[in-house]
């Protein structure tokens, strides 16, 4: 396996991690202007709460829960499809332990060269994201199974898109799903629906990806121009986000969908067991290689 292929797969892993980052959390609505009383769950009270006011409460409650279990599926055109299960904690930065299984597409075929069943364990820590790439990767890289992606390194290596990746991976909490929909300015309440036996309220909106990234990633004018150019190559401009919220103002389900140059990009996430303990351990240093090292090897090979 060449260093160029290794680097391409490793970059893809980081990109997929950012795209599939879980989202939802904090922000109260003290000035919502609604006439609903605290704890009043009647239909009349629910109708009196605007979608913006309601989602600000969801942002506050989901974020304040500080942890949750996650189940997700992601499809990215012909590139890949995957499932993701695990738990995330956002009480003090992002930590989590998540298992990803690549189920289809060109990405799955590449991953199966490293892990026969396409399964990869990932660990989120406050300063970096780690991925266990499997035995095939270890054989190609000198016996090390884990690759470390320092968030600051992503920003420096991949330019504007790296800055956005950094922001997304460091902010992969339920709060961000709600935040993105609030930032869209086009929130609509769909109605009451049942999700896995839980009564929920369904909201939807459309997000301008570049505009949102400008706000959340703090891109300057040059970085924003570069990011928009990179985004144009992917074909992604708008993203539709749907949220399902229970009577306790907790996010239960989230979906997002967008069109890209390689086909539709769709994700669905379920959140449960808010507030549960999450145990995370950093992978052994002796079994870990840094992404900067792989990127440097690829650059030397190309020169």
**What is the model's pLDDT at position 191?**
95
Burial class (CB in 10 A: 0-12, 13-18, 19+), 286: exposed
Taking domain 3-24+50-302, whether its CATH number is 2.50.20.20 is answered by: yes
**What is the model's pLDDT at position 179?**
77
**What is the model's pLDDT at position 247?**
95
**What is the model's pLDDT at position 38?**
40
Instruction: Give the chain as a DSSP string.
Output: --HHHHHHHHHHHHHHHHHT---B-----TT----PPTT--SHHHHHHS-HHHHHHHHHHHHHHH-EEEEEEEEEETTTEEEEEEEEEE-SSS-EEEEEEEEEEHHHHHHHHTTSTT-EEEEEE-SSEEEEE--HHHHHHHTS--EEEEEHHHHHHHSHHHHHHHHHHHHT-SHHHHHHHHHHHS--EEEEEEEETTEEEEEEEEEEEHHHHHHHHH---HHHHHHHHHHHHHHT--EEEEEEEE-TTS-EEEEEEEEEETTEEEEEEEEEESTT------PPPGGGEEEHHHHHHHHHHHH-
170 Cβ contact partners less than 8 Å away, ≥ 6 residues apart? 93, 94, 151
**What is the model's pLDDT at position 15?**
56
**What is the model's pLDDT at position 296?**
64
The model carries a pTM of 0.76
| Tokens read off for 31 | 């000035």
**What is the model's pLDDT at position 116?**
76
pLDDT tens-place values along the chain, 303 residues long: 445 555 566 666 665 555 444 333 322 333 333 333 344 444 434 444 689 999 999 989 988 999 999 999 988 888 788 899 999 998 888 899 999 898 888 877 777 777 778 888 999 998 888 999 888 888 888 899 999 988 877 666 555 455 555 555 555 567 777 877 887 777 899 999 999 999 999 999 988 765 555 454 455 566 555 555 555 556 566 788 899 999 999 999 999 888 777 778 888 999 999 999 999 999 999 999 998 887 765 444 444
């Amino acid at each position: 396996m060449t260093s160029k292929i290794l680097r391409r797969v490793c970059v893809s892993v980081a990109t997929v991690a950012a795209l599939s980052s879980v989202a939802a959390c904090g922000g109260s609505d003290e000035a919502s202007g609604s006439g609903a009383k605290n704890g009043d769950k009647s239909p009349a009270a629910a109708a009196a709460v605007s979608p913006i006011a309601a989602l600000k409460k969801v942002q506050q409650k989901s974020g304040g829960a500080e942890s949750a279990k996650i189940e997700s599926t992601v499809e990215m055109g012909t590139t890949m499809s995957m499932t993701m299960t695990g738990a995330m904690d956002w009480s003090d930065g992002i930590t989590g332990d998540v298992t990803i299984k690549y189920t289809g597409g060109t990405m799955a075929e590449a991953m199966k060269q490293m892990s026969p069943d396409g399964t990869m364990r990932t660990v989120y820590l406050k300063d970096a994201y780690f991925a266990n790439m499997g035995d095939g990767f270890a054989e190609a890289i000198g016996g090390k199974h884990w690759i470390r992606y320092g968030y600051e390194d992503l920003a420096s290596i991949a330019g504007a898109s790296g800055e956005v990746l950094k922001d997304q991976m460091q902010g992969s909490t339920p709060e961000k799903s709600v935040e993105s929909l609030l930032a869209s300015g086009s929130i609509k309440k769909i109605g009451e629906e049942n999700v896995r036996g839980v009564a929920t309220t369904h909201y939807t909106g459309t997000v301008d990806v570049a505009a949102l990234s400008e706000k959340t990633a703090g891109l300057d004018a040059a970085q924003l121009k570069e990011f928009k150019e990179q985004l144009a190559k992917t074909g992604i401009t708008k993203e539709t986000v749907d949220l399902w919220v229970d009577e306790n103002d907790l996010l239960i389900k989230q979906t997002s969908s967008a069109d890209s140059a390689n086909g539709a990009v769709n994700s669905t996430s379920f959140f449960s067991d808010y507030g549960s303990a999450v145990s995370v351990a950093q992978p052994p240093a002796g079994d870990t290689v840094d992404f900067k090292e792989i990127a440097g090897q690829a650059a030397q090979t190309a020169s």
